[in-house]
Amino acid sequence: MNLDFTGREAAMNIRFQPRRHVIDLLFTLALFCVFAASALLVVLIGADVYESSARGMDRNFDLQTSLHYVAAKVRQCDAADAVHAGELGGAPALIIEQEFGGEVYRTYLYAWEGSLCELFTGMDDPSPVDGTPITKVPAFEVEQVNPRLLRVSCPDADGRDAQLYLSLRSGKEGSA
């Protein structure tokens, strides 16, 4: 069998070979660039969403941790006339009084220099600088709504106020 193409057969063979155009290469390159740009854009948007949600979770963690800490302290030490709102060094404070060995000790929960602080002391005139920082909070407010109900509020970094109402179960008898 002779595979040598001559004349008309050679011309037909050349005519049916696909022609390569520059536009084919440019279209393929442009399609790849559009895909790469889209992938980069999706990654950048995803990174921004992740960053903002992580920042929000950090703020919520500090705020919720401080409120839950206060609630746990009140529930742990809830006794008749032991928990009330007050002040420490001009700052609003939650005061928990306990008796140990015949002496009265106080636990103060208050905001000082951007942190929720706790101070356990037997002194009559304590200083807010002596407390131990617990979590970051810009402010801390305590209000005695009635003899058996406390309202604790903390704003977050964006100024949104989170509130917690605590029912004192061991309050004075006959109190509403």
- Asked whether residue 94 is domain-assigned, the answer is yes
Mean pLDDT of the residues in the chain? 83
Residue 162 near residue 63, CB atoms below 8 Å: yes
The pTM assigned to this predicted structure is 0.66
- Asked whether residue 13 is domain-assigned, the answer is no
Band the pLDDT of 119: cuts 50, 70, 90: very high
Q: Residue 139's pLDDT is what?
A: 87
- Asked whether residue 134 is domain-assigned, the answer is yes
Residue 101 near residue 92, CB atoms below 8 Å: no
Band the pLDDT of 57: cuts 50, 70, 90: confident
Residue 100 sits in which domain range? Answer: 53-167
Band the pLDDT of 61: cuts 50, 70, 90: confident
- Asked whether residue 40 is domain-assigned, the answer is no
Q: Give per-residue pLDDT as tens, 70-85.
A: 999 988 888 888 888 9
- Asked whether residue 69 is domain-assigned, the answer is yes
- Asked whether residue 44 is domain-assigned, the answer is no
Closest alpha carbon to 92 in 127, 137, 141, 129: 141
- Asked whether residue 29 is domain-assigned, the answer is no
More confident residue, 155 or 18: 155
Mean pLDDT comparison of 35-39, 54-58, 103-107, 158-162, highest-scoring range: 35-39
- Asked whether residue 3 is domain-assigned, the answer is no
Structurally, how many domains does the chain consist of?
A: 1
CB proximity list for 152: less than 8 A, separation 6 or greater: 67, 70, 71, 94, 140, 141, 142, 143, 163, 164, 165, 166
